[in-house]
Chains A and B, each alone.
Chain A
Amino acid sequence: MAENTPILQTVDVNHSFGMVVAADNLNVTIDSGEMIGIVGANGSGKTTFLNLITGYITPNSGRVLLMGQDITGLPPRSVTKLGVARSFQIPQLYTSMTVLEGMLLSLAAAAGEAGSFWEPIHRGTWKSEGLATLESFGLDAYADRNVGELPEGSRKLLDIALSFALKPKLLLMDEPTSGVSVEDKFQVMDTLVKVLQQSDITAIFVEHDMEVIERYSERVLVFGTGRVIADGAPEQVLASPEVKETVLGHV
């Protein structure tokens, strides 16, 4: 991979659900190491964007390039193996297991051992690594508790931690602070950003909360009816009246 190859690129991506245009000629380029926030009104195509670049949906036309490689049409499983990980609006957790066991599963998957059926999953190396990751996310106290016992903010963090444990190059987060109380919001984001900065990850997070976007992103993409209608530094983009009207509904 050449040094200047962007980590993610969408080329003329178009997708509609029947009459609804979810992606309209998207040409987005994201460079390695960036910390990107995505905003937009409901239905503007933000989650669809995540679904398109991870292969959950195959675009009607256009291509998706990951580190220069064409990944259009590959399923999420393959895209994940190529270095993309994702967390969800509604946290996708392993509901019958403990927090640590969830981490062990991510680590086993990352090690390519999902199909191994003889050696136990509870092994020293993975356990310590799992606990260390949980610690950096502030979740180590819950290690042996069942996933169902976690408060909402922690569930979101766990969702992200599970994705992070896959050691991705690109981490996508869908509304990391939605459902989190106002007091905890910044704590969650501070923890998250600290972990991200310590590793060499490119991060994209979709958010509704303008404060979070302003504070934590280096670059903002504004979505509207499937198109990117603004792209730049948060101070400029969020100050524009057009953006305010589209996203917030008022000037």
Chain B
Amino acid sequence: MNLLTFPRAALVASALLVLTPLFVPGWIIFIITKALFLSIAVMGVAVLLRGGLLTFGHALYYATGAYAVGFSVKWLGIHELLLLIPLGALAGLAMAALVGLIMARYREVFFAMLNLAFSMMLFGALLKFYNITGGSDGLTIGTATLFGAELEPDSFGFYYFSLAIVGIVSFVVCRFMASPLGYFLRALHDNEIRMEYSGVAVRQVVYKTYLLAGTLGGVSGVLAAFAIGHIVPEDAFWIQSGEFVFVALLGGFGGVPGPLMGALVFEFIQTYASKYFPLAWQMTLGIIMLVVILFQPGGLWAIYKKVEQRLGRKGKGDEDG
């Protein structure tokens, strides 16, 4: 009875995610909560990476979701998660629909750097238009509510809600990756010419994937806003985008499991590293990235697949999630 092979491993992991909070102290629950909503944004980056598209500006969508919450709280007094999650998703989607019109025409270097440019533009706007956005002070929001009941960021309620959202998002991402569009996304990385010569509008494939990624970023931003309680322009800064990219690389692009694994490892490392060597935190990330790139570019997911293969059962190809 091999617990490490794929379908069973997923069940075991899900069970662990559900049961662990019952046995660990509050601060660990909070770390996992942070990992959960981080993984949602990273899924967006990872999906794009599956098609060979690297974005250095995903914080654009994360900030969009966060500020959508910020404005809702500030102008409408709404704290209700059931309203704000769809709102954040829609905000991310709308932003992606707009920016994607330009982004879908590019690949490689330009794709990466133009995304960065857009996110830095938002950063600049958030910073300068302080009458609306609160400038560098940002916006402070209160506690989230679910069906009207308050959910503190480090509570069980907030954790299980985040887990539920991750569950829904994972389901969507899995269906996406298993669909024709998901496969054409992979094909984008392999051979655009063959795609063109199959009558496929390559730009549409990029655009639709980008829409998904933007939506995921927005959802992540909503949860993050409430977890941290404070929304600042730095949410759109390149450092935030770099964090998403780092986690995507670390976890590997296995659709759902990669980002989750990467996010968990990242949050735990960050908690300890920023406490013990704050001045070398970026360097730590940089060195880990170098090691991953040079020795195991497929990240934790690839390591897991190798382990799975060695245990006798053949890995199920690319059946993500």
A residues touching B (Cβ–Cβ < 8 Å)? 54, 75-78, 80-81, 85-86, 88, 92-98, 101, 104-106, 108-110, 113-122, 162-163, 166
Asked if B182 is an interface residue, CB under 8 A from chain A, the answer is yes
User: A95-B191, A115-B205 in contact; A120/B179 too (CB < 8 A)?
Assistant: yes
B183 touches A97 (CB 8 A): yes
Q: How far is the CB of B66 from chain A (nearest CB, A)?
A: 26
The answer, among A80, A98, A105, A166, for a CB contact under 8 Å with B196, is: A80
- Given A108-B184, A110-B198, 14 more pairs with CB closer than 8 A: A80-B198, A92-B194, A94-B186, A96-B189, A97-B318, A105-B180, A105-B198, A108-B180, A109-B195, A109-B199, A117-B179, A117-B208, A120-B179, A121-B180
> CA–CA, A75 to B186, complex, Å?
22
B residues touching A (Cβ–Cβ < 8 Å)? 175-176, 178-184, 186-187, 189-191, 193-202, 204-205, 208, 212, 317-318
What are the 5 tightest A-B residue pairs by CB atom distance, in nearest-first order?
A: A109-B198, A108-B180, A80-B199, A117-B181, A81-B199
**B200, closest chain A residue (CB):** A114
B197 touches A120 (CB 8 A): no
A97 touches B179 (CB 8 A): no
User: A92-B197, A115-B204 in contact; A98/B184 too (CB < 8 A)?
Assistant: no
Residues of A within 8 A of B199 (CB): 77-78, 80-81, 109-110, 114, 166
Q: How far is the CB of B82 from chain A (nearest CB, A)?
A: 24
Residues of B within 8 A of A113 (CB): 180
**B212, closest chain A residue (CB):** A117
Residues of B within 8 A of A96 (CB): 186, 189-190, 318
B179 touches A119 (CB 8 A): yes
Q: How far is the CB of B125 from chain A (nearest CB, A)?
A: 32
Q: How far is the CB of A31 from chain B (nearest CB, A)?
A: 23
User: A86-B197, A117-B208 in contact; A93/B191 too (CB < 8 A)?
Assistant: yes
A105 touches B197 (CB 8 A): no
B175 touches A94 (CB 8 A): no
The answer, among A97, A104, A117, for a CB contact under 8 Å with B176, is: A117
A94 touches B191 (CB 8 A): yes
B183 touches A105 (CB 8 A): yes
**A114, closest chain B residue (CB):** B200
> CA–CA, A116 to B187, complex, Å?
15
Residues of B within 8 A of A109 (CB): 195, 198-200
> CA–CA, A162 to B198, complex, Å?
9
A105 touches B184 (CB 8 A): yes
Q: How far is the CB of B181 from chain A (nearest CB, A)?
A: 4
The answer, among B175, B183, B194, B197, for a CB contact under 8 Å with A101, is: B183
Q: How far is the CB of A50 from chain B (nearest CB, A)?
A: 11
Q: How far is the CB of B246 from chain A (nearest CB, A)?
A: 23
A114 touches B197 (CB 8 A): no
A75 touches B196 (CB 8 A): yes
Q: How far is the CB of A110 from chain B (nearest CB, A)?
A: 8
Residues of A within 8 A of B189 (CB): 96
Q: How far is the CB of A127 from chain B (nearest CB, A)?
A: 13
The answer, among B176, B184, B194, for a CB contact under 8 Å with A114, is: B184
Residues of B within 8 A of A81 (CB): 199
A94 touches B190 (CB 8 A): yes
User: A98-B317, A115-B204 in contact; A121/B182 too (CB < 8 A)?
Assistant: yes
In the complex, 18 of the A-B residue pairs with CB atoms within 8 angstroms, ordered by the A residue number, are A77-B197, A80-B198, A96-B186, A96-B189, A97-B186, A97-B187, A97-B190, A104-B180, A105-B180, A108-B180, A113-B180, A114-B180, A114-B200, A114-B201, A115-B181, A115-B205, A117-B176, A118-B179
Residues of B within 8 A of A78 (CB): 199
Which of B184, B191, B194, B195 gathers most chain A CB within 10 Å? B194
Residues of B within 8 A of A85 (CB): 197
User: A95-B191, A96-B190, A97-B186 in contact; A116/B196 too (CB < 8 A)?
Assistant: no
Residues of A within 8 A of B180 (CB): 104-105, 108, 113-117, 119, 121
> CA–CA, A49 to B186, complex, Å?
30
> CA–CA, A94 to B191, complex, Å?
6
Residues of B within 8 A of A101 (CB): 183
> CA–CA, A108 to B199, complex, Å?
10
Residues of B within 8 A of A110 (CB): 198-199
> CA–CA, A108 to B184, complex, Å?
10
Q: How far is the CB of A205 from chain B (nearest CB, A)?
A: 16
Residues of A within 8 A of B183 (CB): 97, 101, 104-105, 108, 121
Q: How far is the CB of B302 from chain A (nearest CB, A)?
A: 13
> CA–CA, A243 to B205, complex, Å?
46
> CA–CA, A95 to B318, complex, Å?
13
> CA–CA, A85 to B212, complex, Å?
31
Residues of A within 8 A of B204 (CB): 114-115
> CA–CA, A80 to B199, complex, Å?
5
Which of B180, B183, B195, B212 gathers most chain A CB within 10 Å? B180
**A80, closest chain B residue (CB):** B199
> CA–CA, A92 to B195, complex, Å?
9
> CA–CA, A117 to B177, complex, Å?
8
> CA–CA, A133 to B191, complex, Å?
21
Q: How far is the CB of B100 from chain A (nearest CB, A)?
A: 14
A54 touches B197 (CB 8 A): yes
User: A92-B191, A115-B204 in contact; A76/B196 too (CB < 8 A)?
Assistant: yes
